[in-house]
Amino acid sequence: MRYFITGTAGFIGFHLARRLLEEGHEVVGYDGMTPYYSLRLKEARNAALTQFPSYHSVMGMLEDGGLLRDLAKAFPPDVMIHLAAQAGVRYSLENPKAYLDSNLIGSWNILEVAREIGVGHLMLASTSSVYGANPDVPFREGDKADEPMTFYAASKKSMELMAHSYAHLYKVPTTAFRFFTVYGPWGRPDMALFKFVKAMTEDQEIEIYGEGKMSRDFTYIDDLVDSIIDLSRIAPSEENRVAEIDTLSRQAPFRVVNIGGGQPVGLLDFVETIETIMGKPARRKMLPMQQGDVPRTFASPDLLVALTGRKPETELKEGVAAFLDWYRQHQHEIG
Residue 317 backbone class (left: φ over 0; alpha: ψ -120 to 50; beta: rest): alpha
Active site residue 99: no
Q: Is 258:143 a contact under the CB 8 Å cutoff?
A: no
Distance, CA of 240 to chain centre: 24
Question: Hey, which bits of 190-279 come out as E strands?
Answer: 205-208, 215-216, 219-220, 254-259, 265-266
- Please list the residues that pair with 266 across neighbouring strands: 215
For the chain, the C-alpha Rg in angstroms (whole number) is 19
Q: Is 136 exposed, middle or buried (0-12, 13-18, 19+ CB in 10 A)?
A: exposed
3, 91, 152, 327: the active-site residue: 152
Taking alpha carbons only, the member of 143, 119, 133, 127 closest to residue 68 is 119
* 50-58: Cβ within 8 A, 24+ apart: 52/18, 52/21, 52/27, 54/21, 54/24, 54/25, 54/26, 54/27, 55/17, 55/21, 55/26, 55/27, 55/29, 56/26, 56/27, 56/28, 56/29, 57/8, 57/29, 57/31, 58/28, 58/29, 58/30, 58/31
Size (the chain), residues: 335
Catalytically active residues are: 152
